[in-house]
Structure 1
Amino acid sequence: MSDSASDASDSVSGCTRRRTAVTEAEVEALVHGICFKTGPPRALGVEVEWIVHELRAPQLPLTPERLAAAYAALRAVPLKSALTVEPGGQLELSSPPAGSLMECISVVSADLDAVRAVLSEDGLGLLGIGHDPWHVPRRFLREPRYDALEACLDRTGPAGRRMMCTSASVQVCVDAGYEEPGPLGHTRRWWLAHQLGPVLVAAFANSPLVQGQPTGWRSTRQLFWTQIGPARAGAPPLEGDPRASWTRHVLDTPVMCVRQDDGPWQVPEGLTLRAWARTGEPRPPTREDVDYHLTTLFPPVRPRGHLELRMIDAQPGDDGWIVPLAVTAALFDDPEAAETAYRTVKPLAERSLARPAPHNALWIDAARSGPADRELREAAVICFAAALEALPRLGATPEVTAAVAAYRDRYVVRGRCPADDLLDRGADGTGRRPLGKDVPS
């Protein structure tokens, strides 16, 4: 390549630097090499998102100034987890990679205690729910990335703004797995993540309300992800090698933006990463652009060297996030539980053949009905039993195992989920009358 074609500038950190452009073949090799790092499953992580709210009256909106002051105070708190802010002001804690389930729980629990202590001094708290039941989407962060993301997602309707500003989740991160076949092999784990995903959506559904009204969906958050569309928020087909399938998906998905040194970022329509690499227009893409593009894809399972499972709604209570973390870790990292989970969800695959996740009937039924869907409930009962047997083998404490058992007894075996509790308390989750009539179809 000539010098004029091989260099481009990048200024993500605020200073312009020269970056080397990449060809289509180089882009393909990069994605193929960095998204699945195989080996023995040893590490575990969790990302927990929360809606920040007024302790005295959660329905009251928070001013941007009040949120900014709270986050300024939190940045002075020493934490082992990374604290970040979502576009609508949601708080996220991302654990460092942990060597065990209990290490992960211990680190995040301590960090959450510290965060809650600081917030409570200002009369604020954390709400564990998959979608804000009261407020309309409102941007808190004003940055070029989120301006571009908003402009890009607006093309497919209002769901993107809700995802950005009013949703929260528990995201469990597991290693990609061994290169070779078997219960802990990376091909099996990739398949299992997509087929077990609807069971997790259903079992932990906790977002039935929008602006005080029931939506008819147990996980409205998952509905909104579906409405964003299969390119930005969908999975690739599961046939064949996961690396090759994911790489094709990455290259054939339109880029969200072309970052600029000055002024707003460009938001081209329909410019795939592959086409950008081939044409070099509006400027040649760089390795940094490829890395950035990967962060703008939001499938239910995202390979980032490890597998990031993104389909679980945020959970109620201070420690509700521990149950989906423990169940997911057991079903992926214990060989016996992983084999049971695989055999249990395999018959469900017939409902997911028509389209990749989350746009097929299995995922949609999970979001709409939760564990009221008979097949999903039966699968969840078996998977929870397998997880409970596996947790002591993973070093889980009796308290963690008891929490999983209590969740199973309260919800799973009864065909219920936390969304049903919200609906039982009244249309807006507080026992009050409905606030309005505008709900998504």
Structure 2
Amino acid sequence: MSTRDVSLAEDPLIESRDQLLAPMIGGEKSKDRWRIGTEHEKLVYKRDDFHAPAYDEPCGIHDLLMNLRQFGWEPVEEGGKVIAMRGEDGTVSLEPAGQLELSGAPLENLHQTCAETGRHLEQVKAIGECCGVGFLGLGMWPDKTRYELPIMPKGRYDIMLRHMPRVGSLGLDMMLRTCTIQVNLDYSSEADMAQKFKVGLALQPLATALFANSPFTEGKPNGYLSYRSHIWSDTDPHRTGMLPFVFEDGFGYDRYVDYMLDVPMYFVFRDGKYIDAAGQSFRDFLKGELPALPGELPREGDWVDHLSTAFPEVRLKSFLEMRGADGGPWSRICALPALWVGLLYDQTALDASWDVVKHWSMEEREALRNAVPKLALDAPIPGGGKLKDIAREVLSIARSGLTARARLNASGDNETGFLDTLEEIVTSGKVPAQRLLDKYHGEWGGDIKRVYKYSF
């Protein structure tokens, strides 16, 4: 989740709809300026007893963050508490229950992305060795109840934790127990954004399937392969889902602004504090009628904050976020951006990707998205067959897109090698969660603690 820059000076009042459109329009970039931003979360645990460390305990989350200073990171504070670290590789921040996230820098190619990921993991593992802390690459805590998990000191989390139970039964699980990998990508125009948004939404279930990695809840198999993905189905219907309007003729920035105006607010940030506006309307805010701040009008920063509080399968801000994947180890952190860059950053590949899915109805897309958390690659697809039947074709398109980019490393290798881990999943027919379940029922003998041997 976003870490707000609390040092920003007061920004302009919103006086026209053009200011609501500005973040999306301002995101347009020529192809030579397209970048790749990768975000990945990991679960943090103490090695002696596997508990999730609190913020303030010795060698807890605060100490982990501050120890990053030895690698050149600088602290970001909120209310006198360190909530993130900033450096050349982006921002390291803490999620609601202490999950650690790297929001990587915008980079030119996948070689840089994977090197950035490697540096980050080396740094946190080095700190972890000194503190007796380990990191787990899964989509969800395999053994912790909500009540066993600490809460981090960020104002927006307090508001969200109070609001989530009002709108869904699994929102607290989303906040406290899950981890994801996300990829942020650019677009050149409104039309380019719209095509990438459609392809990204339609194929998001495939990404969810390939990266499915959350088959356990509270120490036992939960009946799902991506329980993290299932959680989003009952988190908050006003701000999640497949967004049918994206597939309608004429979709563009204006329609997305309308959607965001209908997404209920969480908060307003004033004087270094988050003010609870949960469930209130940004439309009312524009009229000076927000109950949380009566008579006050929103500023541009309020709108940017609000754009970060919707959680559909693909999200638009000043870039597009691909949001469907469970957390995982280094190879899959590299593979997710490889998949989406290959599909979306080459026009021939983008057109071919749309050809795969363009005939699906909205009902069929929704049915696939709903089936994938349990069935992964065995989920039925429109027209007959299973998702695994198109997986190889889609990966081939991604590979061709990466080949066309021709971004080489010092050894002369292009970016296609980062897809190898996904090719192996498709060839084997087993997604990561199925392999974990095989171990649980086999060599682990039902002992979920054995999963901690599969740390980063």
TM-score range, shorter chain: 0.7 to 0.9
Give the SS at the match of 1:49: strand
Q: How far is 1:192 from its partner? A: 0.7
1:67 and 1:296 map into 2 onto residues whose CA distance is 24
Choose the corresponding residue for 1:131, options 140, 143, 150. Answer: 140
| Letter paired with 2:166 | R
Written as runs of structure 1 = structure 2, the 5 A alignment for 1:279-358 is: 279-282=288-291, 283=293, 284=296, 285-315=298-328, 317-347=329-359, 349-350=360-361, 352-353=362-363
Q: How far is 1:280 from its partner? A: 2.5
Q: TM-score, structure 1 length as denominator?
A: 0.83
1:177-208 deviation per Cα after TM superposition (whole angstroms, max 9, x unaligned): 3445xxxx222111111111111111111111
What is aligned with 1:417?
431
What is aligned with 2:446?
432
Residues paired across the two proteins, number:
407
Task: Assess if the C-alpha contact under 8 Å between 2:6 and 2:272 holds in 1.
Answer: no
Task: Assess if the C-alpha contact under 8 Å between 2:140 and 2:214 holds in 1.
Answer: yes
1:429 and 1:297 map into 2 onto residues whose CA distance is 41
1:396 and 1:420 map into 2 onto residues whose CA distance is 34
| Letter paired with 1:242 | G
1:89-144 deviation per Cα after TM superposition (whole angstroms, max 9, x unaligned): 11111111111221222223223222222222222222111111111233431232
What is aligned with 1:188?
195
What is aligned with 1:6?
none
Q: How far is 1:294 from its partner? A: 1.4
What is aligned with 2:152?
141
What is aligned with 1:30?
19
Question: Aligned Cα RMSD in Å?
Answer: 2.8
2:61 matched to 1:49? no
What is aligned with 1:407?
422
Task: Assess if the C-alpha contact under 8 Å between 1:377 and 1:413 holds in 2.
Answer: no
2:217 matched to 1:207? no
Q: How far is 1:230 from its partner? A: 2.6
| Letter paired with 1:201 | T
Q: How far is 1:148 from its partner? A: 0.7
What is aligned with 1:175?
186
Are the structure 2 counterparts of residues 319 and 118 from structure 1 closer, same or farther at C-alpha, using a change threshold of 3 Å? Answer: farther
| Letter paired with 1:52 | V
Q: TM-score, structure 2 length as denominator?
A: 0.81
1:134-162 deviation per Cα after TM superposition (whole angstroms, max 9, x unaligned): 11233431232111111121212442221
2:159 and 2:207 map into 1 onto residues whose CA distance is 31
2:117 matched to 1:117? no
**Runs of 5+ unmatched residues, structure 2:** 73-86, 380-384, 450-456
Are the structure 2 counterparts of residues 161 and 150 from structure 1 closer, same or farther at C-alpha, using a change threshold of 3 Å? Answer: same
Task: Assess if the C-alpha contact under 8 Å between 1:49 and 1:314 holds in 2.
Answer: yes
2:427 and 2:352 map into 1 onto residues whose CA distance is 18
What is aligned with 1:241?
251
Task: Assess if the C-alpha contact under 8 Å between 1:176 and 1:190 holds in 2.
Answer: no
1:417 and 1:430 map into 2 onto residues whose CA distance is 18
1:380 and 1:224 map into 2 onto residues whose CA distance is 24
1:343-368 deviation per Cα after TM superposition (whole angstroms, max 9, x unaligned): 12224x22x347xx8xx212111222
Are the structure 2 counterparts of residues 115 and 371 from structure 1 closer, same or farther at C-alpha, using a change threshold of 3 Å? Answer: same
| Letter paired with 1:344 | V
| Letter paired with 1:339 | D
Q: How far is 1:55 from its partner? A: 4.1
2:201 matched to 1:198? no
What is aligned with 1:382?
393
1:432 and 1:340 map into 2 onto residues whose CA distance is 44
Choose the corresponding residue for 1:86, options 95, 102, 107. Answer: 95
What is aligned with 2:83?
none
Q: How far is 1:264 from its partner? A: 7.1
| Letter paired with 1:74 | L
Give the SS at the match of 2:67: helix
Give the SS at the match of 1:321: helix
1:394-433 deviation per Cα after TM superposition (whole angstroms, max 9, x unaligned): 3256596445234313x21343210101111226995425
2:188 and 2:233 map into 1 onto residues whose CA distance is 27
Task: Assess if the C-alpha contact under 8 Å between 1:212 and 1:429 holds in 2.
Answer: no
Give the SS at the match of 2:275: coil
Give the SS at the match of 1:375: coil
Choose the corresponding residue for 2:239, options 215, 226, 232. Answer: 232
What is aligned with 1:369?
375
2:66 matched to 1:72? yes
Choose the corresponding residue for 2:29, options 36, 39, 42. Answer: 39
Are the structure 2 counterparts of residues 168 and 18 from structure 1 closer, same or farther at C-alpha, using a change threshold of 3 Å? Answer: closer
1:371-404 deviation per Cα after TM superposition (whole angstroms, max 9, x unaligned): 0124321221111122233334332565964452
Are the structure 2 counterparts of residues 179 and 407 from structure 1 closer, same or farther at C-alpha, using a change threshold of 3 Å? Answer: closer
Choose the corresponding residue for 2:263, options 250, 253, 259. Answer: 253
1:54-109 deviation per Cα after TM superposition (whole angstroms, max 9, x unaligned): 3456x434344123222221244224221111111111111111112212222232
2:344 and 2:10 map into 1 onto residues whose CA distance is 42
| Letter paired with 1:196 | L
2:444 and 2:270 map into 1 onto residues whose CA distance is 46
Task: Assess if the C-alpha contact under 8 Å between 2:54 and 2:98 holds in 1.
Answer: no
Q: Which moved more, 1:199-208 or 1:253-262?
A: 253-262
1:379 and 1:50 map into 2 onto residues whose CA distance is 30
